[in-house]
Amino acid sequence: MASHVPEGSQRGYIIPIGGAENKRRKPLILQKFAELCGGKNARLAIIPTASKLKETGQNYIDIFRDIGVDYCVSLPIEERSDSECVEYLQELNEASGIFVTGGNQLRLSTIMGGTPVAQAIRRRNAVGVHFAGTSAGAAIIPEHMIAGGKAGPTPREGGVIFAPGLGLTNKIVVDQHFRQRDRLGRLLSAVAFNPFATGIGIDENTAAFIDPEGMLEVVGSGAITVVDPSELFHSSMESENRGKAINLTNLRLHLLTSGAKYDINSRQVFN
């Protein structure tokens, strides 16, 4: 679960990005993140663990430097033992922003879960360090991470696979590449399993900038699908046979585009 915010501190932003964000031409999302972290004076720690491509970390260093950030470092955490590296932990302790790249979210959870690096990320976010993750890096933000599931519009019994996430928040569950990979059904399945959490489905080149008070602002060219289960009347999840469509009644669904805001705590939309 999220680390306690010490007295006198304010939690940093958490910023799930739906993947495939513009990187070179009009990198609006990455620019906004960099500015939030201090612009030219930001110190960014990039974690490319989800990707097996050796160049991923350096690619993001180059992108952020092109944006104007002077100090960027990649932490190549490839084994669980790397998460105990004193140098990497020091970089996290000095960072104003932490960025986790895309790839396979199960690599993130199995390599980093429960390690000093994961603990440091939660602790640093609790004292004001901003955290952004794209694709797999977005999926791992909540306490409950969507690790897999079938595409399609219909929620089904067994339609989603969960794994433990970083636990920066327990109030949302995140899915990414949302419209492009037809993931409404698995987000609905996720919400049916855990009606406490709001479902956030993020399109590519789109991000949710969630401030310390829980206000979400949409940034980017796509949309965010918000599934609010607060008034869920009935779910047939527990009684359906494996793979069968499930019945969900009285859900609320919002489609929000750039500039729209959603209060995760009050569950109100502000256009």
Asked if residue 186 lies in contact with residue 151, where contact means CB atoms within 8 angstroms, the answer is yes
Residue 262 CA, chain-centre distance (Å), reads 16
The tokens 């960014």 sit on which residue? 44
Distance (Å, whole) CA 177 – CA 238: 28
> For residues 222-236, b (16+ Cβ closer than 10 Å) or e, as one string?
bbbbbbbbeebeebe
Active-site choice (51, 130, 143, 177): 177
β-bridge mates for residue 45, sequence order? 73, 98
β-bridge mates for residue 257, sequence order? 223
Distance (Å, whole) CA 51 – CA 54: 8
Active site residue 135: yes
Active site residue 177: yes
Active-site choice (74, 96, 135, 189): 135
Active site residue 4: no
In the DSSP assignment, the letter for residue 22 is -
Distance (Å, whole) CA 21 – CA 135: 9
Active-site choice (91, 157, 204, 217): 204
Structure token pair of residue 106: 């199960």
In the DSSP assignment, the letter for residue 53 is -
Q: Which positions are catalytic? A: 135, 177, 204
